[in-house]
Amino acid sequence: MRKVEQVGDFLRISFDYDERLRQLVRALPERQWDPIERCWKVPKDHVVSVVELLEPEGFSFDRATKDLYEERKRERAQDLTVSELNARVQAILTQAFPAPVWVVGEILGYDKNAHKDRVEFHLVERREGKIIAQVEAILFPEERILIEEKLARAGRPFSLTDEIVVRVLAQVDLWVREGVYRLVIRDLDVNYTLGEVARRREEILRKLSKEGILDRNRSLPFPALPLRVGLITSLGSDAQNDVLKTLRDSGFAFQITIHGARVQGHHTEPSILNALDWFRVHVEEFDVILICRGGGARADLAWFDSEALARAVALFPIPVIVGIGHEEDYSVLDWVGWRPKPATPSGAAKFLVQKVQETLEKLETSLADILHAAQVRLDTEEKALGERERRLVQGTKGKIVLEKQGLGHREKRLVRGAQAHLRLAREKVRLALRAIPQGASRLLGGKRTWLSEAEKRLLRGSFRELGQAKEEIGVKARRVGELARRKLVQEVERLSSREGRLRALDPKRVVERGFAILRLPSGKAVTDPIQAPEGTFLTAELRAGVLRLLSQGGERAGEK
């Protein structure tokens, strides 16, 4: 039963449970739920809003409520309060959208309010990455629980979070108190989000396949020793730690360069493209590239279903290994890059370790084959060498016998030849001994004549040089004598001048000019009156003799 009664200062609203009516009443200003009486209460000042909102829904009103409504309506025949305006707009929206509608949009602002009971967020529409329209939305606790249970039953393919596109069932509503138009979320279409992801992925794959670049990166020859690794992942993430631990535990000398990137949300595409561009510039320094992200909801991995990312990986000049999510997860990158088994971050790292291990095993097998072939060849050569040694020994022995015979014949010929040479040499020596005295006499006679002539030439030259030396000595002696005489005259004149000056300074010369020299009894000359105080005996030296004086004291120059 739907009815409204006036009780004191409040209007008491009662009805059997109906979620739509409950949301409608919640839009009334200052409404309150009374859990004891199990009814809604609204101050009677809002009677106009209550009647005009609930009368179309089949509510009955008691006489007091009707009278109050008529009274207030006459008072406000032309004017509307804000709450009345919002209530009328809310009623119009309810009439236009009597039932919930399905709306498609991208969630925005959910994460920052996810901890609240009532989560307020926006549904937005984007075009080329820019928001072109948005509407406010609210998710109440009851509906949130229902949606979370629905996702859990579906295997939790994704979670409610920012930047995923969803299809929701929502009631169009106006929050009367705030005058805000919004959507009240009732339900979620799980299959839509998953289907949209799959549709977009298939469209990208068809396009790349048509252009002939879908398998280009996977057709590149994989390096035998992929030790120089470029890793693109979120810095500090579990994916990074798993890759590093797996590669380090392998014991192989991997060289790892990490480029941080966003792996969820709208920034995933530009962030990973930026990392790929950096590695492309330094491609000569790397063997392979790893793109890794840990597990998560399938919708979270949809950010890797990007045509730009797929093209960049497909056309990258060295192999790109993709380890994103769990083994059962797929993205476009799994089809254009190298997908390991399992296709996880640690699986991608194990794939590299396996490739290096395979190369090492091939090298060890090849080395073993080479060593075996070398041993067989050595054994064969050793046998052949033994046979050649045996033949060589036999041949050498025969050769030695022949050489001994030949040496005997040569020895005999050599002895005979030596004896003949000795006889010839003795004859030559005998003839030479006869010729030596005659030759020596002739040679000595010639030498005596040459020595006599040389002696004569030496004497003549010596006399000539001695005469020249005597003449030079005479000239130099005359020059030295003249210089000595001039120097002696100069020194005599200088000594005479000094003697005159010294005589002029002699004290006796002073006395001869009429002056006297006073001396103390000690013989020291008096130069200061203080030396001869009163009563001092003095001696005065004169030109004609000496005076003995007694001092009566004296005064210094300038004293009175």
DSSP string, 152-184: HHTT----S-TT-EEEEEEEEEEETTTTEEEEE
Q: Which of 135, 140, 185, 174 is nearest to 27 (CA)?
A: 174
Name the residue among 173, 195, 196 with its Cα closest to residue 184. 173
pLDDT band at residue 276, thresholds of 50, 70 and 90? very high
Could you tell me the pLDDT band of residue 271, with boundaries at 50, 70 and 90? Answer: very high
How far lies 22's CA from each of 14, 28, 45, 55, in Å?
Answer: 10, 10, 21, 15
Q: How far is residue 127's CA from residue 141's CA, in Å, rounded to a whole number?
A: 32
Q: What is the pLDDT of residues 363-380, one digit of tens each?
A: 989 898 899 888 889 888
- Over range 325-349, report the average pLDDT: 86
pLDDT score recorded for residue 103: 94
| Lowest pLDDT segment from 67-81, 354-368, 374-388 | 67-81
Q: Where are the alpha helices (DSSP H) in 176-325?
A: 190-211, 238-249, 268-281, 307-314
Least confident of 383-397, 454-468, 538-552: 454-468
Work out the average pLDDT over 453-481: 72
Q: Which 3 state secondary structure label does DSSP give 126?
A: strand
> Which pLDDT score is estimated for 27?
79
Question: For position 437, what pLDDT does the model report?
Answer: 62
- Residue 357 confidence (pLDDT): 92
CA distances from 447 to 209, 266, 451, 453, 461 (A): 118, 122, 6, 10, 21
Residues 96-124 as b or e (16 or more Cβ within 10 Å = b): eeeebeebebbbbbbeeeeeeeebebbbb
For residues 295 and 285, what is the distance between their CA atoms, to the nearest angstrom? 30
pLDDT > 90? residue 280: yes
Between CA 107 and CA 165 the distance in angstroms is: 6
Q: Is 121's pLDDT higher than 90?
A: yes
| Amino acid occupying residue 327 | E
SS3 content of the chain, % helix, strand, coil (to 5): 55, 20, 25
Burial class (CB in 10 A: 0-12, 13-18, 19+), 356: buried
Q: Are 154 and 97 in contact (CB under 8 A)?
A: no
Which of 34-38, 79-83, 307-311 is predicted least confidently?
79-83
Least confident of 21-25, 75-79, 181-185: 75-79
Nearest alpha carbon to residue 103 among 194, 159, 152, 172 = 172
Query: CA angle at residue 155 from 150 to 161, to 5 degrees?
Result: 70
Smallest CA-to-CA distance from 357 within 227, 217, 220, 256 is with 227
**Lowest pLDDT segment from 424-428, 524-528, 548-552:** 424-428
Specify the pLDDT at position 416. 81
Q: pLDDT at residue 433 above 60?
A: yes
Between CA 440 and CA 450 the distance in angstroms is: 16
Amino acid (1-letter code) at residue 74: R
- Band (pLDDT 50/70/90 cuts) for residue 119 is very high
Burial class (CB in 10 A: 0-12, 13-18, 19+), 62: middle
- CA dist 514 and 494 (Å) reads 30
Cis peptide before 141 (omega within 30 of 0): no
What is the pLDDT confidence band of residue 78, given thresholds at 50, 70 and 90? low
Residue 228 is predicted with a pLDDT of 95
The yes-or-no verdict on residue 559 having pLDDT over 80 is no
- Tens of pLDDT, residue by residue over 143-195, are 999 998 988 887 777 778 887 888 999 999 888 778 888 999 999 988 887 77
What whole-number percentage of the chain has pLDDT above 70? 90
Which three-class secondary structure state does DSSP give residue 187?
A: strand
Whether residue 447 has pLDDT greater than 70: no
Residue 151 in contact with residue 158, Cβ under 8 Å? yes
Give the position of tokens 């006036």.
6
Which carries the bigger pLDDT value, residue 140 or residue 419? 140
Q: Which residues pair with 173 in a beta bridge?
A: 182
Nearest C-alpha neighbor of 535 from the set 557, 556, 515, 520: 520
* Closest of 346, 276, 288, 294 to residue 321, by C-alpha: 288
In angstroms, the Cα distances linking 428 to 121, 431, 437, 492 are 136, 5, 16, 92
User: Half-sphere exposure of residue 557, counting CA atoms within 13 Å on the CB side?
Assistant: 2
Task: Check residues 109 and 394 and name the one with the higher pLDDT.
Answer: 109
C-alpha closest to that of 229 among 196, 255, 190 = 255
Reported as a pLDDT band with limits 50, 70 and 90, residue 26 is: confident
CA distances from 152 to 81, 155, 536 (A): 46, 5, 143
Q: Tell me the C-alpha distance between 121 and 113, whole Å.
A: 8
Q: What mean pLDDT, rounded, does the chain reach?
A: 84
Selection from 436-445, 456-465, 515-524 with the highest mean pLDDT: 515-524
